[in-house]
Amino acid sequence: MVSNPDCAKFISDLINGTATAKNPAEFTDALKGFDMINGQGGFIYGDTIRKAYGFDGSTVHRTISSGKAQVELATPYAINTGNARVAAQIAETQAGIQASDALHEILHLAGRNQFSDYDYANTVAGMRGVPVPKFDNVRRASEYWNSALAAACKPRR
């Protein structure tokens, strides 16, 4: 995914475009961010977002500079089927969702004080040369910049 050069370029442009003097970048390469987080709080499953908002989602805790940065991915659903082929398809779909969620969340930790969904949505609007849309809530801002990330980083098959 992130070894795709378009994806790596999009990510470094996104991070560099969002970084400020007050909130500089900790990394501009998602694989480097992955390694840093792995050496700190790591990647865990949880349901913080489900409990707070009533829908499944992933989130981050703390910051790289705290030395305890952590990515929390939505706890996957149990695969309740006796059909091995269907179970394998569900597992593959879940793995794909987890990989793209993990990438999204890693990027939040690229800012020394994190970069928010609004921060990244503003940067993406700038990259597209369009006015920043009005977002009703953080989920809409998240979806806005994530759609640009997904387009740049979609797995090649």
Minimum CB separation of residue 113 from Zn ion in Å reads 15
Q: How many CA atoms lie within 13 A of 48 on its CB side?
A: 11
Rounded least distance, CB 108 to Zn ion, Å: 6
- Choice between 7 and 107, CB closer to Zn ion: 107
26 vs 117, which CB is nearer to Zn ion? 117
- Contact positions toward Zn ion, by CB under 5 A? 117, 142
CB atoms within 10 A of CB 4: 14
User: Smaller CB distance to Zn ion: residue 41 or 145?
Assistant: 145
Minimum CB distance to Zn ion, residue 104 (Å): 6
* Cβ within 8 Å of residue 114, ≥6 positions away: 60, 63, 108
State in angstroms the smallest separation of the CB of 89 from Zn ion.
27
CB nearer to Zn ion: give 123 or 142. 142
Tokens of 100: 């793209």
Query: Residue 46 forms beta bridges with which residues?
Result: 74
First to last CA, the chain: 11
